[in-house]
């Protein structure tokens, strides 16, 4: 299996931090930059993956954009009372995980310099796996449940 490096995917250092912070702020989240080389608080998978604690997403310059969006979307799909209690691990169901993956692709389309196409390619490069063989195939052909889940909660506009 390919072990990707941060050079294989778009990282936070490659996009305007202010744009990423503004995107998350529209969903009631705060994006906090951690200095390079420092541990990332609340990182489930370890560095350079993003971390989450309450409504805060922690990243470094080498954090992949897909990781930042994925962790942010874990928080977005939660009701506010659950969001406030999150520390490191936010998922408690397959439906939430699928909704998170779908929403991160949608939000990438709203992040200047990223876009949904690039994010899906980065997700594949990083090792996300789907039964249809690619993130794009899943998103376009097999994500009806995730779309319905997000729509029912008013998270897709």
- Phi first, then psi: what are they for 64, rounded to 5°? -60, 140
| Own/partner long-range contacts of 90-95 (Cβ < 8 Å, ≥24 apart) | 90/52, 95/145, 95/146, 95/149
- Distance, in Å, from the CA atom of 98 to the CA atom of 150, rounded to the nearest integer, reads 10
Its pTM stands at: 0.93
Instruction: Band the pLDDT of 59: cuts 50, 70, 90.
Output: very high
Q: What is the pLDDT of residues 32-54, one digit of tens each?
A: 999 999 999 999 989 999 999 99
Tracing tokens 């560095």 back to the chain, one arrives at: 47
pLDDT at 65 over 70: yes
Residue of 102, 103, 97, 105 lying closest to 121 (CA atoms): 105
- Distance, in Å, from the CA atom of 38 to the CA atom of 146, rounded to the nearest integer, reads 35
The reported pLDDT for the residue numbered 4 is 52
Residue of 29, 27, 149, 24 lying closest to 96 (CA atoms): 149
Q: Quick one: average pLDDT of 4-22? A: 87
Highest mean pLDDT among 69-73, 78-82, 125-129: 69-73
What rounded mean pLDDT belongs to the chain?
92
Whole-number percent of the chain with pLDDT over 90: 82
The reported pLDDT for the residue numbered 3 is 45
8-state DSSP, 43:
B
Instruction: Band the pLDDT of 146: cuts 50, 70, 90.
Output: very high
Q: Quick one: average pLDDT of 125-130? A: 89
pLDDT at 130 over 70: yes
């Amino acid at each position: 299996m390919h072990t990707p490096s941060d050079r294989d995917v778009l990282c936070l250092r490659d996009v305007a931090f202010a744009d990423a912070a503004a995107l998350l702020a529209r969903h009631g989240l705060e994006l906090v930059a951690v200095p390079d080389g420092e541990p990332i608080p609340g990182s489930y998978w370890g560095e350079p993956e993003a971390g989450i604690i309450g409504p805060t997403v922690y990243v470094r310059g080498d954090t992949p954009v897909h990781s930042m969006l994925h962790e942010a979307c874990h928080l977005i799909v939660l009701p506010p009372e659950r969001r406030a209690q999150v520390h490191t691990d936010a998922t408690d169901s397959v439906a939430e995980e699928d909704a998170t993956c779908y929403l991160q692709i949608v939000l990438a389309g709203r992040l200047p310099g990223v876009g949904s196409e690039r994010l899906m390619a980065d997700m594949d490069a990083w090792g996300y796996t789907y039964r249809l063989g690619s993130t794009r195939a899943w998103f376009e052909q097999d994500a009806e449940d995730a779309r319905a889940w997000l729509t029912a909660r008013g998270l897709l506009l």
